[in-house]
């Protein structure tokens, strides 16, 4: 465990009997949040679900939870985190406990197929996709345009995303790189949508934080955090790099469309990725819950994404505490 978390797992310097639970699996991604909660004197408990257990009766003093577990947990050796987080959040919600980015959005975040189905249900254009769990299925693939993109159903940070140039190459990869199938052993072959950049729009509680155009060179890992490791698509090409370009002129109807997606996905905090096609259309392909806001983009666009997030948590925490007091569920308050 890192030093910050070792000493800052809990705070409750106030008289409040309630606390906010932060569900996480990667400590370094929540340090800034915990420092800010501490600064604002919001009582919290940070709960590491890489090794955790729970009772079917929730802890009455935690009135609100915030889920920060990433679908890429398995890449850090934390494959045990996702099933526990999923079932625990379902348990909490079954008791009426509010979980920000709870089980519905988590279910979607951990399945690209689930995301595509939701997008299609909303009438949004998505890339043509084919799903399989074994190399011996490749002969069943009908007409499919190559080059295509291959990605695991449960991914994140471009993990396992590959460009595939032919049916033979697809068969070869699927047969000899079983680890590519990911934790739920499912691969999605997807129509490649040509682009110079993808667009990513971020929301907190349905409010737009910002939109960026993301230009990636020789990588599929478009993670916005500085220092994020990026594997090259092709080791013979230039070093992987990613540029985040503020996009203040994003069309209003694109923002409305993206907002509709995050709402339908049950995402309180999160973003949507799409590609603007040459014929002026939009193709949506990714829904993300573990947003990181870039300070450089925030400065240019004069927004403070991080404060928007913590303000939202503070508001929801006050609301849930008031409800709990009203219901008298916690004796003595
Ligand atoms: N259908 C597609 N056409 C073109 N590029 C794509 C397509 N799908 C993914 N990509 C590229 O790969 C990156 C990672 O894919 P994505 O589906 O967002 O997975 P992850 O969940 O790992 O971020 C995208 O940001 C984009 O640059
Ligand atoms: Mg993505």
| Least confident segment among 81-85, 127-131, 157-161, 263-267 | 157-161
Digit-coded pLDDT (tens) for 91-116: 999 999 999 999 999 999 999 999 99
220 CA → ligand 1 middle, Å: 6
Question: What rounded mean pLDDT belongs to the chain?
Answer: 92
Examine the fold and report which residue of 174, 191, 208 is the final residue of a domain before the chain moves on.
191
Q: Which of 115, 149, 184, 200 to mutate to test the pocket of ligand 1 (most atoms within 8 A of CB)?
A: 149
Question: Does one domain contain both 277 and 220?
Answer: yes
The answer to the question of residue 115 being in a domain is: no
Digit-coded pLDDT (tens) for 239-282: 888 899 999 999 999 999 999 999 999 999 999 999 999 999 99
The answer to the question of residue 75 being in a domain is: yes
Question: Does one domain contain both 198 and 295?
Answer: yes
Q: What is the pLDDT at residue 330?
A: 52
Question: Does one domain contain both 208 and 298?
Answer: yes
Question: Does one domain contain both 60 and 149?
Answer: no
Torsion, Cα of 242, 245, 251, 254 (10° steps): 30
For residue 57, report the phi and psi dihedrals to the nearest 5 degrees: -100, 115
Cα–Cα distances (Å) from 143 to 50, 130, 229, 323, 324, in that order, read 42, 11, 35, 56, 57
Question: Does one domain contain both 203 and 172?
Answer: no
Give how many domains the chain has, as a whole number: 3
Q: What is the pLDDT at residue 8?
A: 61
CB-facing half-sphere around the CA of 181: CA atoms within 13 A: 14
The answer to the question of residue 14 being in a domain is: yes
| Of 127-141, 230-244, 317-331, highest mean pLDDT | 127-141
Find the angle CA(251)-CA(256)-CA(260) to the nearest 5 degrees: 150
The answer to the question of residue 119 being in a domain is: no
Question: Does one domain contain both 185 and 203?
Answer: no
For residue 30, what is the domain's CATH number? 3.40.50.20
For residue 329, cis peptide bond before it (omega within 30 degrees of 0) = no
Q: Are 153 and 180 in contact (CB under 8 A)?
A: no
Question: Does one domain contain both 20 and 99?
Answer: yes
Distance separating alpha carbons of residues 291 and 172, to the nearest angstrom = 34
Q: Which of 183, 232, 244, 285 to mutate to test the pocket of ligand 1 (most atoms within 8 A of CB)?
A: 285
The answer to the question of residue 116 being in a domain is: no
The answer to the question of residue 92 being in a domain is: yes
Q: Are 250 and 236 in contact (CB under 8 A)?
A: no
The mean pLDDT value for 119-135 works out to: 97
Q: Encoding tokens for residue 304?
A: 């403070």
For residue 204, what is the domain's CATH number? 3.30.470.20
The mean pLDDT value for 191-202 works out to: 96
Question: Does one domain contain both 287 and 321?
Answer: no
Which residues are near ligand 1 (CB < 6 Å)?
A: 127, 149, 151, 155-159, 161, 190-193, 195, 198, 216, 220, 222, 273, 285-286
For residue 141, what is the domain's CATH number? 3.30.1490.20
The domain of 17 spans 3-108+309-327
Measured in whole angstroms, how far is the alpha carbon of residue 204 from the centre of its chain?
13
The answer to the question of residue 148 being in a domain is: yes
Question: Does one domain contain both 204 and 283?
Answer: yes
Question: Does one domain contain both 102 and 136?
Answer: no
Could you identify the residue written with the tokens 């092709």?
Answer: 234
Q: Which of these, 236, 272, 243, 242, lies nearest to 256 by C-alpha position?
A: 272
Residues 6+ apart with CB under 8 A from 58: 91, 92, 95, 97
Q: What is the pLDDT at residue 195?
A: 95
Examine the fold and report which residue of 170, 191, 212 is the final residue of a domain before the chain moves on.
191
Question: Does one domain contain both 287 and 317?
Answer: no
Check the CA dihedral 73-90-95-309 and report its sign: positive
Digit-coded pLDDT (tens) for 7-35: 567 776 666 899 999 999 999 889 999 99
Question: Does one domain contain both 144 and 230?
Answer: no
Q: Are 41 and 13 in contact (CB under 8 A)?
A: yes
Q: What is the pLDDT at residue 332?
A: 45
- Ligand 1 atom 13: residue of nearest CA: 220
The answer to the question of residue 47 being in a domain is: yes
């Amino acid at each position: 465990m890192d030093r910050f978390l070792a000493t800052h797992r809990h705070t409750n310097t106030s008289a409040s009997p309630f606390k906010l639970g932060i569900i996480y699996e990667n400590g370094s991604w929540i340090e800034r949040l915990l420092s800010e909660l501490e600064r604002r004197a919001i009582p919290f408990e940070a709960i590491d679900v890489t090794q955790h257990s729970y009772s079917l009766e929730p802890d009455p003093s935690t009135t609100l939870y915030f889920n920060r577990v990433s679908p890429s947990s398995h890449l850090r050796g934390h494959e045990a985190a996702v099933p526990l987080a999923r079932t625990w959040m379902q348990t909490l919600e079954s008791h009426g406990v509010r979980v920000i980015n709870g089980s519905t959005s988590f279910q979607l975040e951990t399945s690209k197929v689930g995301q595509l189905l939701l997008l299609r249900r909303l009438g949004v254009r998505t890339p043509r996709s084919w799903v399989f769990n074994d190399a011996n299925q490749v002969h069943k693939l009908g007409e499919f345009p190559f080059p295509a993109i291959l990605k695991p159903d449960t991914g994140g940070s471009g993990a396992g995303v590959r460009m595939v140039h032919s049916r033979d190459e697809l068969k070869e990869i699927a047969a000899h790189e079983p680890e590519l199938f990911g934790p739920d052993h499912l691969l999605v072959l997807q129509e490649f949508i040509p682009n110079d950049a993808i667009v990513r729009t971020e929301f907190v509680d349905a409010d737009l934080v910002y939109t960026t155009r993301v230009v990636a060179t020789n990588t599929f890992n478009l993670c916005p955090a500085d220092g994020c490791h990026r594997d090259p698509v092709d080791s013979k090409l230039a070093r992987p790099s990613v540029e985040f370009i503020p996009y203040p002129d994003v069309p209003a109807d694109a923002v409305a469309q993206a907002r509709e997606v995050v709402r339908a996905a049950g995402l309180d905090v999160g973003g949507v990725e799409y590609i603007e096609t040459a014929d002026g259309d939009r193709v949506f392909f990714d829904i993300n819950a573990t947003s990181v806001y870039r300070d450089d983009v925030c400065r240019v666009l004069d927004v403070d994404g991080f404060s928007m997030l913590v303000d939202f948590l503070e508001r929801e925490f006050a609301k849930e505490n008031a409800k709990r007091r009203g219901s008298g569920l916690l004796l003595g308050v």
